[in-house]
Structures are given as structure tokens and as C-alpha cells.
Amino acid sequence: MDLGIKGRSGIVTAASKGLGRGCAEALAEAGVALTLNARGAEALEATAAEIRERYGVTVTTVAGDITTEAVRAEVMAACPAPDILVTNAGGPPPGMWSDWSRDDFIKAIDSNMLTPIALMQAALPGMMERGWGRVVNITSQSVKSPIAALGLSNSARAGLTGFVAGTSRQVAPSGVVINNLLPGIHDTDRAASLDAGVMKAEGISREEARDRRAAAIPARRYGTPAEFGAACAFLCSQYAGFIIGQNLLLDGGALNSTL
């Protein structure tokens, strides 16, 4: 399917691996020129090189921590007029509700709420002026159904979801579309580290931990970054213009609900 975005420019943050990379690849396949970010320069350059080679699009890289104002400014300088923005950052660590300090909350809110908001504040005015834009924020299934050990994520991402609910409707009249993608368990380094947490807590092997987590998903497997990226590319496509402020859950049916 031609997504109608060939030649557009897009930013994907936290994109050297996992879900961010899945989104970058799907956008590149659709012909989008990319600006990619991640902290580790080596993995970022390797990803950029593979994407250039495979899809023949321009890929610019900005290595650095996207939760800092300086790196966000660098990303915007590298792509001052993005048509597409996919926001992503690492998720907060698991833990216990009674243990988190104010600093732990501030760090999580900075990473998973205020960073995507700052990126949107930087990109939206230009998109509105040009009359076209697409924003996808990678959040989590925890927005719809809390994950006990991930209270920091549950909290910070709920804040971002509230911001998007209001803002998406304010920018829609200018042809700018903002939606959130909510990953359930996907096969990435992050999933492997959460498997390791279950392994440790339950005293079982890594394989048992993974099997146990997969068994709780009706699709009986983890999602893939490529599937996730394809959904992202569709929400960034020419055909997504009437999908405003939605929260699309990609979880293999894990959330048991009618609506």
C-alpha cells in the first residue's frame, strides 16, 4: 500500500533499537527522509546505515539523551520542519509504589511525559503553519490497564495521554493529527529485561518467564517491532487524517475488554 508520504521528513526519537527502530524502518519503507536519535552513537549509526542501504532514504543522526533540552534542540535543528514526529524514550524501571522518591517520579515524568510534550511544542507550530502533520507518541498498554511493577510508567504516561487528548483536538483544524500507540509486550531489549525481572522475582528460568508472559496473551506470543512500525506508519500516512487523539492498543488481545 502506498501510504502517500514519500518525500516527507520525519523525526523518530529513541530509534536505534526496538519499537522506535521498527517505526523508523516502516517510515523509511514508505519513503520518508529520517532524523533519528538515541544515546549510544554506535548502535544509532549502525541502524542509520542499514536503513539508508535498505530503503534508499536520507537518514540524519543525532546522538544524545532526548530527555535533555540540548539534545531536543539539536534534533529540531537537524530537522527544522518535520512533517512527521514519532516520540519515544526509554521506559522507567520497575519497582514498588512505596519505594519511589520525588526524584524517581520527576525522572519518569521528564522522560515519558514532558519530553514528548516538549518535542510536540517544538514541532506543532510549523506543522500547523504548513497545514499538514502527523505525530505518534509511543506510550504503553499501562495507560489502559496498570502494570503493578511499573507505577512510574503508569503515572507519567497517563499525564501524556491527557495532554494529547486535549491538544490533538486543538491542532486538528490545521491538518495536524496526533495519536498514541500503546505497546503491549513486544520482542525488544526492554521486554527481555522485564523477563529477567520476572525470572528473578519468581526464581524461574528466563525461558519460563517468557513463556509465562506469552501465555497470558491471547495471540500467545510477543509482538514484533515490524508489526508495531507498520501501525505507526499508517498513523503517519495520508489516510490517517480523520483519526484524531486515539490510543491504539497493540497487545495481542492481552487487555480483556469489550471496548
Which residues are at the interface with ligand NAP (CB under 6 A)?
Answer: 14-20, 37-40, 43, 65-67, 88-91, 138, 140-141, 183, 185-186, 188-191
State the nearest-atom distance from the C-beta of 254 to ligand NAP, in Å.
Answer: 10
Nearer of residues 13 and 168 to ligand NAP, judged by Cβ: 13
Rounded distance between C-alpha atoms, residue 166 and residue 176, angstroms:
13
Residue with cell 536520507: 58
State the nearest-atom distance from the C-beta of 20 to ligand NAP, in Å.
Answer: 5
Nearer of residues 92 and 171 to ligand NAP, judged by Cβ: 92
State the nearest-atom distance from the C-beta of 12 to ligand NAP, in Å.
Answer: 10
Nearer of residues 130 and 200 to ligand NAP, judged by Cβ: 200
- Determine how many CB atoms are found less than 10 A away from the CB of residue 219: 13
By C-alpha distance, which of 214, 148, 192 is closest to 18? 192
Please tell me the number of Cα atoms within 13 Å of 219 on its side-chain side.
13
Check: CB of residue 13 under 8 Å from CB of residue 35: no
Rounded distance between C-alpha atoms, residue 180 and residue 248, angstroms:
6
State the nearest-atom distance from the C-beta of 177 to ligand NAP, in Å.
Answer: 21
Nearer of residues 50 and 65 to ligand NAP, judged by Cβ: 65
